Amino acid sequence: MPRVKRGNKRKEYRKKILKRASGYFLTKSKLYQAAEEAVERGLKFAYRGRREKKRQFRSLWIVRIGAAAKLNGLSYSQFVHGLKLAGIDLDRKVLADIAVHDAAGFTALSEQVKSALQKEHDQRSSAA
């Protein structure tokens, strides 16, 4: 088997790691082994953060929808249940945007939700 010397490839790989670590504190930006550990750790946090961001946005949307629903006399859960009853298929991102930027539109949605909830209540009371 032929002998392989890794001069150029090793240098390229190490340069890539050190470039990613530029801006890190003390030896983490200068020494290869420390830089490699710091970069690996940073990539791990970045991967996790991309998933956490989705959760945080969903939570923010729910808070905004809940606040707007409260202004219209409904709780968040009642509002979402009423949307399903009314057959309105909007996701939380769109609903939150409507709640923040179009109060009149959200009020109109709330009226539809209230009427759908009222219909369900009337059906339940007549069945019992």
pLDDT of residue 107: 97
The CATH number that applies at residue 72 is 1.10.1900.20
Residues 68 and 78 in one domain: yes
CA–CA gap between residue 41 and residue 26 (Å, rounded): 16
Helix/strand/coil percent split, the chain, to 5: 80, 0, 20
**Cα(70)–Cα(102) distance, rounded to whole angstroms?**
15
Instruction: Transcribe 60-102 into DSSP letters.
Output: HHHHHHHHHHHHTT--HHHHHHHHHHHT----HHHHHHHHHH-
Claim to verify: residue 62 and residue 108 sit in the same structural domain: yes
Q: What is the pTM of this model?
A: 0.81
Whether 2 is in a domain gets the answer no
Indicate whether 119 and 81 sit together in one domain. yes
In this structure, the answer to whether residues 111 and 68 fall within a common structural domain is yes
- The pLDDT assigned to 128 comes to 67
Is 48 in the same domain as 60? Answer: no
* Same domain, residue pair 20 and 43: yes
23 occurs within a structural domain: yes
Range of the domain at 28: 7-52
> Which pLDDT tens digits describe the chain residue by residue (128 residues)?
888 888 899 999 999 999 999 999 999 999 999 999 999 999 999 999 999 999 999 999 999 999 999 999 999 999 999 999 999 999 999 999 999 999 999 999 999 999 999 999 999 998 86
58 and 48 within one domain = no
